[in-house]
Structure 1
Amino acid sequence: MIHVADAVRDGFKKISITTVDTDVIVIAISVFKDTEADEIWIAFATGKHFRYIPIYDIAQSLGPLQSRIIPIFHAFTGCDTVSSFAGRGKKTAWDPWNTFPELSSVFRQMTDQPSTISRDSILPLLERYVVLLYHRTSESNSVNEAREVFFAHKGRSIESVPPTREALYQHAKRSVYQAGFILIQCLILQPVLPSPDLYGWKKQDNGM
């Protein structure tokens, strides 16, 4: 996106990007306003799946807040570097967000203040959201409680129950690292990144 910003500064106000990576779509939506472009289009995918995506139109439809924090939603629900919730795709994850607007305040903190996150500041609402991912009518606010109910009493397989609270926190930290530090700095030429082992990753001899 830094190339888009450069093009706009050179006087090009309508920009087209060709990609097959959904990360680019998410990033473009989140920083569209910051680029000061009039229009950004993405020529996405190939073959019979090829289509043009009007980023400017999507950003306007979502509004400033949801556009800004969509990278966190994308990372938290599964991207190239962060695992997804088994059997829960983007549409399944999007619907409870729209019915649980309080989640946006947590996503905003994870986006704008990634270095300040803690269990107490983000987990209560994230737990409730994840429970809703697995059971829309559940009244539980605890993933650990929901695991017990879904697995022991409803007979679900282990793949069909939420992660533990501790696993969810590590997942959230990895999401923050990917979106709150990496994706959100896409307009910075040389972004400064903290060590990933502070955000849910573990260093090993052959990598992370």
Structure 2
Amino acid sequence: MFKPGGSRTFQEYSTAVFIPYIESQLEYRSRLDLVWDCYLKSGSLKATVRCNHGEGIRRRVTASGPLPSNWQNFLRNSDNKEELSSFLSEQVMQLVVKESKQLVVTDKKRVLTVPTRKDTANLAPCNHEEADTRMMVHAADVLECGHRRILIRTVDTDVVILTVALANERSEVLDELWLTFGTGKNRRYIAAHQIAKALGPEKSRALPVFHAVTGCDTKLFSRKSRSLEDLPPTRAALEQHIKRAAYQAGHIWGQAAIAFVSLPSPCD
């Protein structure tokens, strides 16, 4: 989420920071998808991770409401982020879009489009908890609509892994799948389609499983370090970690391109 700069209210933040960025991105693209996280109240695999990151102070998001002095602390609260994303989605939907352009915006389980799109069955209702996988739903829909070149912006390595898997899976209808990864001076472009081609089908399909075991951010034991040496030296701990990785890679990531998925409880 962009920093508020000199904005004093949520409306100023939308008008001066967020909307200008959306307009600049849409100017050079035929379709722009804005995808948010959707925070589940129960049965969340990410709940423990979010608790470890800390829970910020709850603040209501209204147009005239003052921005919090500590922006990062504000964003640590799931309710704050969900309310902010809904507010910004409403603001984006007020944009005047040229006939040759299409804007697709998520709002919790719904999807909003400009111009209005009759058939959104590929996109909504969507019960994905994270934008990481929901991006794949939208990427798959983009391809379904006949587009063959996609650019995804992210700061999450999970998305990189998922796009490589998607590029492999949809290679017949895809020309290029790029990622803008990182921020500021560390931002770089990654060609997921080239990585998938270099790895080949078998390794591309296996990549999400390997990442779930060794590097994804729902890893059970390691916090700051992602080294396998940090795993507790017990058989029970290892089995629990493998189960969690299998749930993440098999059930969640394995259905990443499907809008409404059926998932077993992570507690089972």
Asked if Structure 1 and Structure 2 have the same fold, meaning a TM-score greater than 0.5 normalized by the shorter chain, the answer is yes
CA deviation digits over 1:114-168, x for unaligned, max 9? xxxxxxxxxxxxxxxxxxx65xxxxxxxxxxxxxxxxxxxxxxxx5x75311110
1:22 to 157, 180, 184: 157
CA deviation digits over 1:167-186, x for unaligned, max 9? 10110000011111101211
Partner of 2:106: none
Partner of 1:50: 187
Counterparts of residues 79-158 of structure 1 (less than 5 Å): 79-83=216-220, 89=226
Paired letter, 1:46: T
Paired letter, 2:140: A
2: distance between equivalents of 1:78 and 1:34? 22
2:208 to 59, 64, 71: 71
Partner of 1:184: 254
Partner of 1:196: 266
1: distance between equivalents of 2:223 and 2:142? 40
CA deviation digits over 1:39-94, x for unaligned, max 9? 100001111110000000111111111110111111111322123558864xx7xx
Q: Secondary structure at the match of 2:152?
A: strand
Change (3 A) 1:46 1:32: same
1:62 aligned onto 2:199: yes
Q: Sequence identity of aligned pairs in percent? A: 47
2:242 to 160, 168, 172: 172
Please identify runs of 4+ aligned residues in structure 1 that moved more than 4 A: 84-89
1: distance between equivalents of 2:221 and 2:236? 16
Contact 2:212 2:248 survives alignment (8 Å):
yes
Contact 2:196 2:204 survives alignment (8 Å):
yes
2: distance between equivalents of 1:30 and 1:50? 22
Q: Name whichever of 161-170 and 6-15 sits farther off.
A: 161-170
RMSD: 2.1
Q: Secondary structure at the match of 1:196?
A: coil
Unaligned runs of 5+ in 2: 1-135
Contact 1:78 1:85 survives alignment (8 Å):
no
More helix by share: 1
- Between structure 1 and structure 2, the one with the greater Rg is 2
Contact 2:251 2:263 survives alignment (8 Å):
yes
Paired letter, 1:179: A
Change (3 A) 1:58 1:84: farther
2: distance between equivalents of 1:87 and 1:9? 39
Paired letter, 2:193: Y
Contact 1:14 1:38 survives alignment (8 Å):
yes
Unaligned runs of 5+ in 1: 93-132, 135-158, 199-208
Give the number of aligned pairs. Answer: 131
Q: Secondary structure at the match of 1:190?
A: coil
Q: Secondary structure at the match of 1:197?
A: coil
